[in-house]
Amino acid sequence: MGDTKKLIHIRNVSGNVNIGDSPEYQVSSAINELLKVLANKPFKFEIMMRRPSAETIIKINHNNLRSKKHVIKQYLDYSSKIEEAYLEIDSLVAFGKNTILRNIYDLYYSALDEVGIDYMSSIVDINLIRRNSDFIFDFIVQKLKNTVFESKNTPVIKEHIELGVNVVVAHAFIECIILENP
């Protein structure tokens, strides 16, 4: 056996190429602090039939959010806990709530860029939003999960991450940070 050489050809890179751990893994994230706070809130599992407000139903229908209703349901079950967690996060991370919501807001516009929806030169075309709303929602959830997993202070329980990210993104939807308000 001779020397084995591994050759990698990289073309058209629009970012850093890291062989090994990325420097991002050494930096903590505000969203992870929020998820940890949320996970530590006492919660008793109960099957609840809490219904969304009429305003929420109107927003779901306005944006044609079809396959993400279960995430809104998760939010309804945890809505008081997320509000408590946001109150606590600012004591742990300077401007923590604002940082998290701003990040989600920026991810929304990244999702619009991803599907080619113009928001700079005119009013956002609601028909394009409606056609892509599930993708936009999923895009934000996935990018937020990437941030969670690529940070130094990652929560240790996968279910806390899954549920927490869903609840945080659904909260942003309810609070009109993402998608369009009717």
State mean pLDDT over 146-160: 89
Q: Can you tell me the distance from the alpha carbon of 112 to that of 132, in angstroms, rounded to the nearest whole number?
A: 9
Does the pLDDT value for residue 36 go beyond 60? Answer: yes
Domain ranges, ordered by start, for the chain? 28-40+52-174
Q: Is the dihedral of CA 84, 169, 148, 30 positive or negative?
A: negative
Tell me the percentage of the chain whose pLDDT exceeds 90.
Answer: 64
CB 132 within 8 A of CB 5: no
Q: Can you tell me the distance from the alpha carbon of 88 to that of 33, in angstroms, rounded to the nearest whole number?
A: 10
SS3 annotation, 99-152: HHHHHHHHHHHHHHHHHCCCCCCCCCCHHHHHHHHHHHHHHHHHHHHHHHHCCC
State mean pLDDT over 33-57: 84
State mean pLDDT over 163-170: 96
Nearest to 36 by CA among 155, 162, 166, 158: 155
Residue 7 is predicted with a pLDDT of: 65
Write the pLDDT tens digit of every residue in 66-104.
999 999 999 998 888 998 999 999 998 999 999 999 999
How many C-alpha atoms does 29 have within 13 Å on its Cβ side?
A: 23
Dig out the tokens for 17 from the structure: 């190429």
